[in-house]
């Protein structure tokens, strides 16, 4: 599902205009992004938890040349689905 399709679904289910639904989706995305940037977790009970973690520096290999390279450490975003979402999807 694309962002446009999500906006359309939210608009029809919540009885909003597409413009209002898009503003709501954009506000949700920016709020979650800001919280993750500041190191907070975002927990939506029944849906899941967005969090950040550190990925350590590691050695990799350039597939074209076979040369060993160092891959820098970085912060990554994680998502852990909640029980209700797992049960609904059947995962």
User: What are residue 79's DSSP bridge partners?
Assistant: 50
Number of structural domains found in the chain: 1
Q: What is the CATH number of the domain that holds 54?
A: 4.10.520.10
| Boundaries of domain holding 82 | 3-89
Write down the pLDDT at residue 91: 56
pTM reported for the whole predicted model: 0.78
Region label for 29, one of left (φ > 0), alpha (ψ between -120 and 50) or beta (otherwise): alpha
Q: Residue 55 is inside which H or E element, if any?
A: strand 48-55
Q: At what angle do helices 18-37 and 3-14 cross, to 10 degrees?
A: 120
Local confidence band at 40 (pLDDT 50, 70, 90 cut-offs): very high
Write down the pLDDT at residue 7: 96
pLDDT digits (tens, 9 = 90+) for 42-70: 999 999 999 999 999 999 999 999 999 99
How far apart CA 81 and CA 19 sit, in angstroms, is: 29
């Amino acid at each position: 599902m694309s962002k446009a399709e999500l906006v359309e679904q939210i608009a029809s289910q919540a009885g909003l205009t597409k413009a209002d639904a898009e503003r709501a989706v954009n506000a949700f995305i920016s709020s979650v992004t800001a919280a993750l940037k500041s190191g907070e977790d975002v927990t939506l009970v029944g849906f899941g938890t967005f969090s950040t973690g550190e990925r350590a520096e590691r050695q990799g290999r350039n597939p074209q040349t076979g040369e060993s390279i160092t891959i820098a450490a970085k912060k990554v975003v994680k998502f852990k689905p909640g029980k209700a979402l797992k049960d609904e999807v059947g995962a």
